[in-house]
Amino acid sequence: MTSAVTGFDAATIELLATSLREVFTAHPDAQGVAAALDELGWDEVSASDPAAATTLLFTEHGRALAISRLLDDIVLRELTPALPAGTGNRAVLYCHPQHALLLGPLDDITELVTLDGAGNVGIIAAESVSARPIRGFDPGSGWLCIDEIPTARPLLVGDAGQRAVAAARRALCAEIIGICTTALDSAVAHTTSRIQYGRQLATFQAVRHRLAESYVAVEAARAALAAAWADGGVWTARLAKLRAGQAQAELMRHTVQLFGAMGLSQEHELHRRVTRAAALDLLLGGHTAQADEVGAALLAGADLIRVVEI
């Protein structure tokens, strides 16, 4: 599997991916991850090729099912120049029509920067809200939910809000692709080793075609993400997020089937990938909602831009 963006050569990518894997394996918590990335000099890597670095970082984040506030960093990097100076630590509150989500606890946070899918931005004091851990589909995410949000002072940040949403969506695409890649690899390994009716599962055409379709879905998401990076715009980041969301839905449907009853069990790790991918799909807009919005925009007269040029 190659990176969606090929700014670094293959050997460098492999080296960086290995280092990131070690970071995410050794540090299950957000603080540890941040410190380890500092030690790795990740800022420099990122500065030399932001697209490739971000894609790698979040792909490995997904593969490891890591928990961190790295997505907040992506959002705040876009927003901070447009925000009033703050005094303490800031975290991002991701606002959706029914849910406002935090990626980690409020312990050392003083301000929350609110961001919704349309790029609207506000600031609220962290002490003015109470957050409860999410115990939903993906209890392992470590995310928190805020039920009552005080009215945020709306901020005029120009297009920084939209750019932040686009940047976050691209990172989320990479993370979803990372999760899908490991799920597909494990399904290939499983169906190659498990024998039924005296032959490997992967010798049955119905099984092989599900795996092939899963591969196509991930490659499609990868291509859409590369196009989103090349273009840098809001519209293309949304299209990429739509494809990544679609890919995880298709691929997880196939892989859950291929693992048989094993994939449904608590002790098997597959369910963690299914639920994390589903949660990430919904963050800043799930694929069906995105398709709705894109289609509505087209019906309202939006240009069917080609996005990709030769």
Partner 1 sequence: MTDTFAADLDSYRTALRANLMRESSLHAWRTRHYATTEERIADHAALMGELYRQGWNRYGWPVAAGGAGGDERHRAVLYDELAAAGLPIPTPHLLLETLGPPVSRFAPELAARYLPAYLRGEEWWGQGFSEPEAGSDLASLRCRARRDGDNYVLSGQKLWTSHGATATRLVCLVRTGTPESRHRGLSMIMVDVDTPGVSRRPIALASGDNELAEVFFDDAIVPASRLIGAEGQGWAIAMYLLQYERAMYAWMSAADALRRLRELRDQLSTRLAAGGTLPGAAAQRLGQCYSQLITLRARSAQTVRRLAAGATVGPEASVDKVLLGGAEIALYDLSRDLLGPEFVFDDTATVAQWRSEWWYSRSATILGGSAEVQRTIIADHVLGLPKEATV
Q: Does 220 bind partner 1 (CB under 8 A)?
A: yes
CB of 12 to partner 1, least distance (A): 20
CB of 213 to partner 1, least distance (A): 7
Q: Of the candidates 21, 25, 130, 208, which one interacts with partner 1 according to CB under 8 A?
A: 208
The whole-angstrom separation of Cα 264 and Cα 214 is: 19
**Token duo for residue 248:** 């995880």
Q: Is-contact 88 110, C-beta < 8 A?
A: yes
**Of the candidates 305, 248, 307, 297, which has an alpha carbon nearest to the alpha carbon of residue 118?**
297
Nearer to partner 1, 61 or 243 (CB): 243
Q: Of the candidates 7, 82, 106, 215, which one interacts with partner 1 according to CB under 8 A?
A: 215
Instruction: Map residue 294 onto helix, strand or coil.
Output: helix
**Of the candidates 302, 221, 270, which has an alpha carbon nearest to the alpha carbon of residue 55?**
221
Q: Does 306 bind partner 1 (CB under 8 A)?
A: yes
CB of 237 to partner 1, least distance (A): 12
The whole-angstrom separation of Cα 117 and Cα 282 is: 11
Nearer to partner 1, 80 or 200 (CB): 200
**Beta pairing class for 90-95 and 121-125:** unpaired
Q: Is-contact 217 209, C-beta < 8 A?
A: no
Q: Does 249 bind partner 1 (CB under 8 A)?
A: no
Q: Kindly write out the interface string for residues 163-202 of this chain, putting x where it contacts partner 1 by CB under 8 A and - elsewhere.
A: -------------------------x--xx------xx-x
Q: Kindly state the number of chain residues that form the binding site for partner 1, as judged by CB under 8 A.
A: 46
Q: Please provide the DSSP assignment of 184-249 as one string.
A: HHHHHHHHHH-EETTEEGGGSHHHHHHHHHHHHHHHHHHHHHHHHHHH--HHHHHHHHHHHHHHHH
Nearer to partner 1, 169 or 271 (CB): 169
Contacting range for partner 1; rule: CB under 8 A; set: 160-168, 172-180, 205-213, 268-276: 205-213
Contacting residues toward partner 1, per CB under 8 A: 188, 191-192, 199-200, 202-205, 208-209, 211-213, 215-216, 219-221, 223-224, 226-227, 236, 239, 242-243, 246, 288, 290-299, 301, 304, 306-310
